[in-house]
Amino acid sequence: MNDWSPKFLREWAQLQQEHPGVRLYALVDAAQDPRVYPGLVDEAVDSCLFAEHIGDEISRNGPHLVSVPLAGPHGLREDSPYWVLINQLATLKPCIQLMASDWAYAELLTALRQASQVRLPDGDEMVLALWDPAILATLVACAEDTSLHVPGPALTRRQIHALLRPVRAWWYWNRHGLLLRLNIPPVTQIAAPDAALTPGTDSAPFHLAQVQVDMLVEASVPDHLLQHLRINHPQLLHSIPESQHYSQMELHLREARQHGLRGMRDLLNFICAALIFGPRFDSDPAVLSVLAQVRNKTLTMSEAMQAFPS
C-alpha cells in the first residue's frame, strides 16, 4: 500500500477495536476511470447509487457502493483487486472513498441513494454527487482540506447528521491526493439548522435552500473549467504536471473573482490568458494595464483578450 496507508490502517484498527463487527465499504465512481467498473464492482450485485431502471450504460459509468473484502494482516487483503486499484487511482483521481459502517450492505446502499436525492427551492429534484470528494467535503466541511474551493458546510447540522448517521468513519482523497477523514459529530452536538440556511430540513430527500444550491454550484466550478480546458485547449496544460491541474485552476479562478469576473466565458478567458502568459501575467506592465481596466470595468474580458500584448 502507498504512503497514505499507515494513517488509514491505524484508524481502521482502532475502529475495529471500538466497534467489533464494523464493516468496510468503498464508494467508487466509474465515470472517473473505466478500470473501476468492473474492477471493483460485482456486476451481479445491484450497487449503483442512481435510481433503478436507468439502463446498463449509465449504470456502468455511475457511482457504486462495494463491500471491501477483509482478511489477512490488519483485516485487509493488500493483494486484492480493491487495494491494487486504490493504490493506482485514489491519489490521482476523485474516484474512490472508504466508509466504515455497522449497517448491512443493503441498508447502507438505500441510505446513500436517499441522501443523494435532493429537492431544490423551486421544487425540482436533482441528484447530489456524494461520490465526488469535493462535493462531499463541501457538504459537511473538513477543516484539514485546503483544496476545497468552497470550504462549507453547505448542509445544516441536522442534514449533516442525517447524511453521516449510517457511518462510523468516512475517508476520501482530496484534489491534492491526500487522504482525509470526515468528522462524524455525535448526536448530542446536533443543533437547530443555522438561520441563514433555512428552510433546509433533514428529511429525505433533502430540501435545499438557495444559498446551499449556490455553494454547491460554486464548488463545482474549478472542475468544469478544468474539463473544458482539457477538451478544448489541452496544449495550455502540457507544461503543468497533472497532479497540479486542479490547484492551478483554483488559483486562477480566485484571481478572476478578484477582478470581478463571474460568467463562465469570462472565467475561461481569464484562465486561458493566465496560462498563456505564465509568469508575465503577474509582472508584465502591459498585461497588468489591461487587467486593471478589466477590474475597473472599462474593458470586458472579451475585449481584454484582444488588447493583451502579443
State pLDDT tens for residues 67-91.
Answer: 987 755 455 666 666 777 777 777 7
| Collapsed DSSP state (helix, strand, coil) of residue 27 | strand
pLDDT band at 26 (very low <50, low <70, confident <90, very high): very high
More confident: 34 or 27:
27
- Cα separation, 94 vs 172, whole angstroms: 8
d(CA 32, CA 93): 7
The DSSP bridge pattern shows strands 117-119 and 206-207 to be parallel
Instruction: Report whether pLDDT(309) > 50.
Output: yes
Mapped onto helix, strand or coil, the DSSP state of residue 155 is coil
pTM, two decimals, is 0.85
CA distance 30 to 95: 7
Q: What are phi and psi of 172, to 5 degrees?
A: -150, 155
